[in-house]
Amino acid sequence: MSDKKQQPPVNDFAQQMVEILDRLRPVMKDYVLKHGGQRSEGTNWDPFQLHNVWSNFLQAAGKNPTKLIDLQVEYLQNMTHLWQESTRKFLGETSQSIASPEKSDKRFRDPLWNDNVVFDFIKQSYLLTSRMMQNAVRSVDGLDPKEKAKLDFHTRQFVDSISPSNFAITNPEVLRETLNSKGQNLIHGLENLVEDLERGGGNLEISKTQYDAYEVGKNIAVTKGSVVFRNDLIELIQYAPSTDKTYATPLLIIPPWINKYYILDMRPDNSFVKWAVDQGHTVFVISWVNPDEKLAKKSFESYVNEGLLQAADVACAITQEKSVNAVGYCIGGTLLTTALAYLAAVKKEHKIASATFLTTLIDFEEAGDLQIFIDEAQLNVLDQKMKEKGFLEGRELRNTFSLLRANDLIWSFVVNNYMLGKEPFPFDLLYWNDDSTNMPAAMHSFYLRNMYQNNLLCKKNGIIINNQKLDVRNIATRSYFLSTKEDHIAPWKATYEGMMLLGGDKKFVLSASGHVAGVVNPPELKKYHYWLNTNLDDRQHADEWLQDATQHDGSWWLDWAKWIEKTSGKKVSRRAIGSKEFPALCPAPGTYVKKKA
């Protein structure tokens, strides 16, 4: 964002507004020209297919109206009670709260939300109303579970959007800043809005961090190494050793291609890559290409062959070993599962000595809120978009993931950037989060339909790769599953059920925190904790596993380091990067990771 917001306030408020609106006009004109016709074909535009869901909800509710009536009666009683308690507070008498926000809710941190009777009443009435609306959806019987989940999700989106914290006139912090700055926060906020629209080419791209504070290869993704192989889909990075001796078996990391690989190599103090190198592993990482229309026909099978299997072959050739220890993160773990099932089918399991799965879904039956976006109507719309361009734009995926945590990843920045007129803080994780990648049309359509919609990976002969019918139950490779308790992308109970399908020696570990923070948790931080339970009875479900699990302080990395030793082989002299057949092509982090969506 521009530096002019650091200058002394300009007195002529009206003149500033005129100048900003002049900048806004061409951006909005371009947006209307690009998108104005998309919804003009009729009044039935319903991208989330909610009309039928709402009709079914009303029918189900009408069959047993007692629950809704009881909720309304309870709501009216609570509102009456709130009015009485607010009156006592206004008169200076002792009063009690009727509704309090969750501890994790950051929207109402300003003291005036509690101290001022008006803002306290607004806050509590909003909490009572929003909870009543969500309880109304959740209490209705007879609605298809997937339809109920969709309605519940969108109800949550609605109640989050109408929070009083999102409006200047009902947000005490914004009102105070407006009075103190004589409206300069609104001027700066409008400037921020225009800049975000300009940055998005007419689409609103909410700034979540200071993007010029980071540069890949300069202050993030800086672990020393070189690209030793490149094809259409991947650059394979080999990292320089930092110990005199290294384990014989190389370590191959398969990150998700929905985001860029350097989530595992952010800064030296939280880089899993650097930490693994320092433990004595010869580390290889796949850096996926950011695809354009030329790669539209690259399939999920291509990602198996040209991605994971090709990378494993190169790593073995360079190190002169017969197998690798593989680490798959998120969709990278799903790809690893697919590759293992294929290798089992063709009797080549030896290529993978061990498999580590980080927050990985294999059974997609209970795959969380992302399932809200996966039904036939929405997939048809998505397929049409991808057919026109050859890929799914990275920003669409990023916006979808932002909706899963709208208060943290959307509304908090709307308030900070546009109402308070402040700059977002520098935050490397949010820089990575917004450094989005495109998805090839063929691959992404296959993934969404076969995994999320039809859940075929966990079914016998459900997926065919290289003309081989796959069955994940034939996987006998030694495996380590790491899931996170607050994961909203790969819910831990779903990952547990998928893990139970595999054969072989298995270990399941549950980390505190979420999809990223629970994984990227270096031991030096002494942060969070994890649960262990070595009893993996085939009849045992996730809740039973956790009930008997033991909590351990600190990072799961240390537990994994001990586990991986068994398949890492003896220590050998440190290795040079690359080989005569696969020489170093360029320094890490390579070229693919720097391509913007």
- Distance between CA 88 and CA 500 in Å, rounded? 57
What does each C-alpha distance from 245 to 225, 327, 485, 568, 571 come to in angstroms? Answer: 17, 21, 36, 12, 6
What does each C-alpha distance from 511 to 296, 394, 546, 551 come to in angstroms? Answer: 37, 28, 11, 9
Helices assigned H by DSSP within 140-183: 145-161, 172-181
CB atoms within 10 A of CB 478: 18
**What is residue 32's three-state secondary structure?**
helix
Quote the radius of gyration of the chain (alpha carbons, Å). Answer: 26
442: Cβ contacts below 8 Å, ≥ 6 apart: 296, 297, 298, 299, 300
Beta strands in 422-549 (DSSP E): 439-440, 464-465, 468-469, 478-484, 506-511, 529-532
Contact 463, 457 (CB under 8 A): yes
CB atoms within 10 A of CB 555: 24
Q: Between β-strands 464-465 and 468-469, what pairing exists: parallel, antiparallel or unpaired? A: antiparallel
Q: Which tokens go with 169?
A: 């006139």
Q: Between β-strands 571-573 and 245-247, what pairing exists: parallel, antiparallel or unpaired? A: antiparallel
Q: Between β-strands 324-329 and 352-358, what pairing exists: parallel, antiparallel or unpaired? A: parallel
- Distance between CA 499 and CA 480 in Å, rounded? 9
Query: Which listed residue (316, 330, 458, 586) is catalytic?
Result: 330
Q: Between β-strands 391-392 and 439-440, what pairing exists: parallel, antiparallel or unpaired? A: antiparallel
What does each C-alpha distance from 459 to 329, 335, 497 come to in angstroms? Answer: 22, 15, 13
- Distance between CA 582 and CA 458 in Å, rounded? 36
Whether 316 is a known active-site residue: answer no
Q: Which are the catalytic amino acids?
A: 330
